[in-house]
């Protein structure tokens, strides 16, 4: 056995550490940005005069969160089933959204909202579904993919 291959002795190679960082650093940095923005008493983000339009921002932010989570899963756990993929991303996004709403409860000028949490969870689900669709398209597992040969379509 060569160094860094690990034989169950608890060794972690430098390559696996780099792969972990490449897989999860984008999500961790983005999660940190969400946390930072949630810590602000007042955000200078123009959201227009539409009532409850901040839900669109929550949905979009957590759609991106879900896509970044998918990036990590694709590199760290590539054999995960699509159902597991969507479930993990949606659950993780909803839990992070809940933690964020709880955090906002303690920030002066901010408040926790179940409607915001719903938008966060639905955004995470959207990111999961988009990434699952992209994953299937890339692998050719569905009709309409370039990788599916004519006549091999199954419905």
| Residue 152 domain-assigned (yes or no) | no
In a domain, 126, yes or no: yes
Nearest to 124, CA basis, from 35, 53, 80, 59 = 59
pTM as predicted: 0.78
Residue 134 lies in a domain: yes
Q: How high is the pLDDT of residue 65?
A: 98
Is 12 or 122 the better-scoring residue by pLDDT? 122
How far does CA 121 lie from the centroid of its chain? 10
Q: What is the pLDDT of residues 69-103, one digit of tens each?
A: 999 999 988 888 989 999 999 999 999 999 999 99
The residue segments making up the domain with residue 76 are 24-34+53-139
Number of independent structural domains in the chain = 1
Q: Is residue 98 part of a domain?
A: yes
pLDDT tops 50 at residue 2: no
Predicted local confidence at residue 53, as pLDDT: 80
Q: pLDDT-derived band of residue 144, with 50, 70 and 90 as boundaries?
A: very low
Q: Which residues contact 58 (CB under 8 A, 6 or more apart)?
A: 97, 116, 119, 120, 123
Is 3 inside a domain boundary? no
In a domain, 14, yes or no: no
In tens, the pLDDT along 14-57 reads: 778 888 899 999 999 999 999 999 999 887 766 666 777 889 99
* 99-127 average pLDDT score: 95
Question: Is residue 16 situated within a structural domain?
Answer: no
Q: Is residue 146 part of a domain?
A: no
């Amino acid at each position: 056995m060569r160094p860094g291959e690990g034989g169950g002795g608890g060794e972690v190679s430098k390559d696996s550490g780099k792969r972990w960082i490449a897989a999860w650093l984008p999500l961790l940095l983005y999660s940190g940005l969400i946390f930072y923005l949630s810590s602000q008493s007042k955000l200078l983000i123009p959201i227009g005069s539409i009532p409850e339009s901040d839900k669109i921002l929550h949905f979009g932010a957590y759609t991106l969160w879900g896509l970044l989570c998918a990036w990590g899963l694709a590199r760290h756990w590539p054999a995960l089933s699509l159902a597991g993929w969507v479930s993990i991303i949606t659950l993780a996004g909803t839990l992070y959204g809940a933690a964020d709403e709880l955090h906002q409860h303690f920030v002066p000028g901010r408040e926790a909202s179940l409607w915001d949490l719903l938008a966060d969870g639905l955004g995470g689900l959207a990111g999961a579904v988009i990434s699952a669709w992209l994953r299937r398209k890339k692998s050719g597992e569905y009709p309409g993919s370039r990788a599916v040969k004519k006549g091999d379509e199954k419905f």
